Amino acid sequence: MLTLLIAAGSFFGFFVAYHTYGKWLAKKIFGLDAAADVPSQQLRDDIDFVPTRKEVIFGHHFTSIAGTGPIVGPAIAVFWGWLPALLWVVLGSIFIGAVHDFGALVISLRNRGQTIGEVAGRIIAPRAKVLFLLVLFFALTVVLAIFGLVIASIFKLYPESVLSVWIAMPVAVAIGFWVFRFGGSLLVPSLLALGVLYGAVYLGTIYPVTLPESWGNPIVIWTGILFVYCFLASVLPVWVLLQPRDFINSHQLFLAMGLVVAGLGVAGLTGQLDLAASAPAIARDLPPDAPLIWPFLFITIACGACSGFHCLVASGTTSKQIACETDAQYVGYGSMLLEGALAVVVILACCAGVGMGVPHPTTGEMLTGRAAWESRYQAKISPKLDAQGQPVLKADGSPATTGGWHNHRLPQKVGAFVEGGANFLSALSIPLQFGTAIIAVLVASFAATTLDTATRLQRYVIQELGATLHIAPLRGKYVATTVAVVAGGAIAMVPGPAGPGSGGLILWPLFGATNQLLAGLAFMVLVFFLARRKMPIWFAAVPMVLMLVMPGWAMIHQIQHDFWPHRNWILLSFGCIILGLQVWMVVEALIVWPKAKGVLEQELPPLPARAKPLVALGKSG
C-alpha cells in the first residue's frame, strides 16, 4: 500500500502544481498572451521554424527532454535509498526543473527563437554569449556520446527492442509527407503507426535482431549506425522525421507508461508490492568508495528533477514550433512535471518492482524482497581472486578489489528498471518476455528522440559559434552537423576495459555535473531577464544558487578525488574546462549585475518582409 500511496500522492502533487504554481508563473510573472507574435510565425521556413499544434509539440518536447535521463538517474540514485531520490524528484520538478524549462522557453519565444546561449549575449554581456555557447558545445558533446552508447547498450542487452525502434523511422517519414504535403489527418495515421510499433515489439520477441559476431563489437557498430542516422535526422526539415516520429513515439511512450502505472496499481492492490521490505528508505550500508549523497544526489538525478539539457530543447527546437504563446505552460511546465512522474515510476520500479523478483546474477536463482534489491545495488568491495582463488595483486603490490561504487554501470542500472517495470506489467498478465521488450523499447525510444534532437541542437550551437567567431564554414548546416556527429562519436568511442566504446561510459559522472551547471547558467539568464524588467526574481534566484553550488561542488570533488588521482585525463580536461567557463561566466554576470537592474537589453533588429509559406504539420489554415 505504501507504494500506491507514494505514486498517487506524487501524481496528485504534480497536478496541483500545474494548476497553481504553473498558472501563477504563466499569468503573473511571464504574462503569456495568446495574441503575441511567436518565432514560428515570424521566421517560418518550414524547416526549423514550423508552427505546430500544442499536442504535437508536447510530444516532441516531452520525448526529447525525457531520454534516458529520468530512467538512468533515479535508477542509480536509489543506491542511497528511495526516499532522498523521491523527495528530490517531486520537489525539484515542481519548484526548480519546471520553472527552468518554462523560463527558458518563454525567453526564447520573446527573442525570436534564439537559443538560451545566444540570448545570454544580449541579456548579460557579449562575452557571456561565447562562454555559454562553449559550455553548450562541451555539454552536448557529452550528451551525444552518452546517449549513443546507452542506446547501443540497450540494443545489445535487449535485441528484441531493435526492430520496433528502427521501424518507427520510415513510418514517421511516411506520416510526415502524408500530413504536410498532402494535407491528411494526423491522429488516425499515428494510431495505426502505434499498432505497427507494438506489432514490431511482439515480433522482436520472436525474431530478436542481433549482429553477427564476425562484424566485431556490437556497441561500436550500433553507435556508428546511430550517429549516421543522427546526421540525417538533424539536417532534414522537422516535419519530415522529428515531428511525426516524436508524435508517434509519444503515443507509444504514454501507453507504455500507462501500462506500467496500471501494473503498479494492480500489484499494489493484490499485495505483490512491498516497498519497505524491498529497499531501504535511506541506505546506510554503503561501500567506502561511494560518493556523498550531498552533493552527488543533485547531479545523479538530473532529468526528472532539473536538467540543464532541457533549456537547450526549449530554446533550440520547441520555441521554433510553438504556434501560440499561451501553449508555453502546457509544453514547458507540463512536460517537466510529466517527466517527474516518470522518474517516480522508475524509483518505484527499481525498488518495489525489483523486489517482486529478479534472477541472481550468477546462479540464476530467483530472488525477492531485499535480497533482490541488494543483488542489483549492494556492490560491496571484496578481494579480486584469480582462477585458483588466490588474491590478485596490483602493480604496486596492493591487493586488487572488485565491487564498490564503480561497479555501478549504466547498462546494469537501466536493466534494473527494465526488470522492475516488466514485473509491474506481469501483474497485468502480460508475459514477462513481452513485458521486458515493451520496457526496453520504452527506454530506447526515449533515448533515440533525445539523441537526434541533441544533434540538431548541437548543429545550432556550432552554427552560432561560427557566426560569432567569424568562422564561415561552421555556419553551414552540413559542416556544423558533421562536426557535431564526429565530436560526439569520437568521445563515445573512447577505449575502455572492454575495448572501443566501453570507455565512453566513464563520461556519465561528468555528464551529471556539466548538465546541472548548465541549468544554473540558464537560471542566471532568467534572473537577468526578469531583473531588467523589474519583475520578481526570488523564485528563480534560489534555484540558480542551488544549481550553481551543488554541481560546482560535485565537479571540484570529482577533480580532486577521482579524475586527478586516477590520471583520467579526458574527464580531468573536460571537467576543468567546463568548470573554468562556468566560473568565468558567473564573474561576467557579477560585473554586469549592478548596471542591469531595470535596464532593458538592446532590441533585436527589425525583421524583413517575408512570403507566406506552406501549411504546417498538425496546424490547419
pLDDT tens figures, 59-95: 889 888 887 778 888 988 888 999 999 999 999 999 9
Alpha-carbon span 502 to 205, nearest angstrom = 26
- pLDDT score at 401: 59
What DSSP line would sit under 321-334, residue for residue? TBSSTTHHIIIIIH
- pLDDT score at 572: 86
For the stretch 314-364, pLDDT in tens is 998 899 999 999 999 999 999 999 999 999 999 999 999 888 988 877 777
- pLDDT score at 395: 60
Contact 71, 257 (CB under 8 A): no
DSSP helix/strand/coil, 533: coil
Q: Quick one: CA dihedral 193, 198, 201, 202, positive or negative? A: negative
- Low-confidence spans in the chain with pLDDT less than 70: 379-412, 496-509, 609-621
Alpha-carbon span 483 to 459, nearest angstrom = 8
Alpha helices in 181-317 (DSSP H): 187-206, 218-235, 242-269, 275-278, 293-300, 309-316
Side chain identity at residue 159, one-letter code: P
Any idea what DSSP says for residue 19?
I
- pLDDT score at 384: 63
Q: Which of 545, 556, 542 has the alpha carbon at shortest distance from 513?
A: 556
Can you give the residue ranges of every domain in the chain? 2-108+133-295+312-378+412-508
What percent of the residues of the chain are helix, what percent strand, and what percent coil, each to the nearest 5? 70, 5, 25
Any idea what DSSP says for residue 590?
H
Alpha-carbon span 121 to 118, nearest angstrom = 6
- pLDDT score at 590: 92
Alpha-carbon span 128 to 123, nearest angstrom = 9
Quote the cell numbers at residue 484.
Answer: 557535431
Alpha-carbon span 394 to 548, nearest angstrom = 39
DSSP helix/strand/coil, 496: strand
DSSP helix/strand/coil, 283: coil
Contact 49, 323 (CB under 8 A): no
State residue 399 phi and psi, 5-degree precision: -70, 135
The helix (H) or strand (E) run that includes residue 129 is helix 126-157
Alpha-carbon span 478 to 152, nearest angstrom = 25
Alpha-carbon span 493 to 145, nearest angstrom = 8
- pLDDT score at 321: 93
- pLDDT score at 380: 58
Contact 549, 523 (CB under 8 A): no
